[in-house]
Amino acid sequence: MKKKILIVEDEPILSDLLFQFLNEEGFEVKMAQTAEEGIKRAKEFFPDLILLDILLPGKSGYEFLLEIKKDEKLSLVPVIVLSNLGQEEEIQKSLSLGAKEHLIKANLTLEEIVKKIKEIIDQEKF
């Protein structure tokens, strides 16, 4: 069965590229442009992993992490923060709010992101 990924990203060019690439890599992908929409989608879609941006219109990615923590089922879904914020305290904040990883978009290729996604989904199996 295809693994399900939810992308929460407001920049269309980035979310479109991620969407296409992940689709072609065999994932089932859904997108959301805001944290609020992301929560709604996550509840309907119940993904295997969430790719989350931090700087979003309205609620931030950090608030998204806080929200899903409160939901018994969603709190189990692994989240990779994929942001262009990358200072030490920003990374620490993501991790302390429960994200599995905090990655900097500009430093990674799509292929490296997919590798990371697979690694984390594999870890979650056990």
Partner 1 sequence: MFQFKLQNEDFELILDSISDGVLILDNSKKIIFVNKGFCEIFSLDKEIIGQKFEKLLDFEQAKKLFFLLGSELKETERKELQVKDDLFLEVSCKTIKKGEEPLAILILVHDISKAKMVDKLKTQFVSVSAHQLRTPLSGMKWSIEYLLKGKAGSISTKQQQLLEKVFQLINEMTIIVHQLLQVARAEEGKISLNLKKSDLLEILYSAISLYEAEMKRKKIKFQIQLPKEKLPKIRLDPEYMGLVFQALLDNAIKYNREGGEVEIALFLEKKEIKVAIRDTGIGIPEKEKPLIFSRFYRATNAQKMVPSGSGTGLFLSKVIIEGHQGKIWFESEEGKGTTFYFTLPIL
- Whichever of 109 and 122 has its CB closer to partner 1, that residue is 109
- Rg over alpha carbons for the chain, rounded to the nearest Å, is 13
Q: How far is the CB of 74 from partner 1 (least distance, A)?
A: 27
User: Nearest Cα to 64, choosing from 76, 52, 72?
Assistant: 52
Query: Token pair for residue 38?
Result: 């992301």
Q: How far is the CB of 20 from partner 1 (least distance, A)?
A: 7
Q: How far is the CB of 82 from partner 1 (least distance, A)?
A: 9
Give the residues lining the site for partner 1 (CB under 8 A). Answer: 11, 13-14, 17-18, 20-21, 24, 84-89, 104-107, 109-111
Is residue 37 within 8 Å of 44, Cβ to Cβ?
no
- Whichever of 77 and 103 has its CB closer to partner 1, that residue is 103
Q: How far is the CB of 106 from partner 1 (least distance, A)?
A: 4
- Whichever of 20 and 123 has its CB closer to partner 1, that residue is 20
- Whichever of 10 and 36 has its CB closer to partner 1, that residue is 10
Q: How many Å apart are CA 15 and CA 81, to the nearest integer?
A: 14
Strands 28-32, 49-52: pairing kind:
unpaired
Q: Helical H runs in 60-109? A: 61-70, 88-96
